[in-house]
């Protein structure tokens, strides 16, 4: 083995705008350090008009891959060579992976969520109520369908987005039941529900006291309640669910697990999720 010094680091990144508040660098670089990898994860602001050049730059500089966040998740598809199955179904990419000379688009948001859910239950055959029909809800809904969930009821404020997601799930994603319910007034969770998911942005910092319009008396201890909000992790929904005896999954679980999947795609290693979560908890508090 050569003892020649090597100052060249492997590069990964997130492209977004705004991006300064995105905490992914903290958890991914904690994993790189923990596993002894001389890799970097850069937080890079890329304007929509510069996306094509940014992807060309990443190719030219040999990036191992990069995450895409708002507003690039759909637009980046046009600049890639191929897509993984979930990314193709959703038409959105949050994780780009270099394989040889090709850039492949994956969607790991929903897979990260499912990894958290699987720590508590197998999604196969489960009945799910999901609030929201935006990017996070699409990612989670598609993975639930691919994992064999029996039913995903979509509750959303905007009818068009809700119906669109229901059609995707029962169409290309192949789930039997995905009824859409317009969100009007306090939603009562049906008693046979196994999993309740907040996939809206309600509760996200700084609006931390915002509460879902749900009849919380209908939450029962047999239900698992999950929130996608990573900041703060202990949302009102998570606190209420625990008070009512439900098992709860906070938004850090999804964030950490999609990070673990991204690091695996780029480096091939199985990163320790505890190290990544601890790094985020330092930023967000427990």
Ligand X SMILES: NC(=O)c1ccc[n+]([C@@H]2O[C@H](COP(=O)([O-])OP(=O)(O)OC[C@H]3O[C@@H](n4cnc5c(N)ncnc54)[C@H](OP(=O)(O)O)[C@@H]3O)[C@@H](O)[C@H]2O)c1
Stretch that binds ligand X, among 79-87, 119-127, 196-204, 267-275 (CB under 6 A): 196-204
Min. distance of Cβ 55 from ligand X in angstroms?
A: 21
Is residue 8 part of the annotated active site? The answer reads no
Residues 72-110: b if buried by 16+ CB within 10 A, e if exposed = bbeebbebbeebbebbbbbebbbbbbbeeeebbbbbbbb
201 belongs to the binding site for ligand X (CB under 6 A): yes
- The pairing of beta strand 82-83 with beta strand 95-99: unpaired
The answer to whether residues 284 and 230 touch, using CB atoms and an 8 Å cutoff, is yes
Residue closer to ligand X (CB basis): 77 or 204? 204
Q: How many helices (H) and strands (E) does the chain have?
A: 9, 12
3-state secondary structure 153-186: EEEECCHHHHHHHHHHHHCCCCCCECCEEECCCC
- The first and second tokens of residue 197, run together, are 């998911």
Q: Up-side HSE of residue 258: CA atoms within 13 Å toward CB?
A: 27
229 belongs to the binding site for ligand X (CB under 6 A): yes
Min. distance of Cβ 92 from ligand X in angstroms?
A: 9
Find the helix packing angle between 251-267 and 273-284, rounded to 10°.
130
Stretch that binds ligand X, among 122-130, 170-178, 233-241, 249-257 (CB under 6 A): 249-257
Residue closer to ligand X (CB basis): 26 or 81? 26
Min. distance of Cβ 211 from ligand X in angstroms?
A: 10
Q: One symbol per residue from 107 to 126: x for binding ligand X (CB under 6 A), - otherwise; what is it?
A: --x--x--------------
The residue of the chain with the least Cβ separation from ligand X equals 134
Min. distance of Cβ 161 from ligand X in angstroms?
A: 4
Stretch that binds ligand X, among 19-27, 44-52, 79-87, 198-206 (CB under 6 A): 198-206
Q: Up-side HSE of residue 285: CA atoms within 13 Å toward CB?
A: 5
Active-site residues, by number, are 73
Residues that bind ligand X (CB under 6 A): 109, 112, 132-137, 156-158, 161, 200-202, 204, 228-230, 251, 254-255, 258
């Amino acid at each position: 083995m050569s003892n020649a010094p090597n100052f060249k680091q492997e590069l990964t990144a997130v492209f977004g705008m705004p991006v300064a508040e995105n905490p992914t660098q903290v958890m991914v670089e904690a994993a790189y350090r923990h596993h002894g990898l001389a890799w970097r994860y850069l937080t890079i602001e890329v304007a929509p008009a510069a996306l094509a050049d940014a992807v060309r730059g990443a190719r030219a500089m040999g990036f191992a891959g990069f995450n895409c966040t708002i507003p690039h998740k759909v637009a980046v598809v046009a600049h890639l060579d191929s897509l993984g199955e979930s990314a193709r179904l959703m038409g959105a990419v949050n994780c780009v992976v270099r394989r040889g000379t090709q850039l492949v688009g994956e969607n790991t948001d929903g897979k990260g969520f499912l990894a958290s859910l699987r720590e508590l239950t197998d999604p196969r055959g489960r009945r799910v109520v999901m609030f929201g029909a935006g990017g996070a809800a699409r990612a989670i809904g598609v993975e639930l369908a691919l994992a064999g969930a029996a039913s995903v009821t979509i509750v959303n404020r905007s009818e068009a987005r809700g119906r669109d997601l229901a059609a995707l799930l029962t169409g290309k994603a192949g789930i039997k039941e995905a009824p859409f319910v317009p969100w009007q007034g306090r939603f009562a969770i049906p008693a046979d529900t196994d999993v309740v998911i907040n996939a809206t942005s309600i509760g996200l910092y700084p609006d931390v006291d915002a509460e879902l319009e749900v009849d919380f008396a209908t939450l029962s201890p047999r239900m698992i309640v999950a929130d996608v909000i990573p900041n703060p992790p202990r949302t009102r929904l998570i606190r209420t669910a625990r008070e009512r005896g439900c098992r709860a999954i906070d938004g850090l679980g999804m964030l950490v697990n999609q990070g673990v999947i991204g690091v695996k795609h780029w480096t091939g290693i199985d990163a320790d999720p505890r190290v990544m979560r601890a790094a985020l908890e330092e930023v967000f508090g427990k």
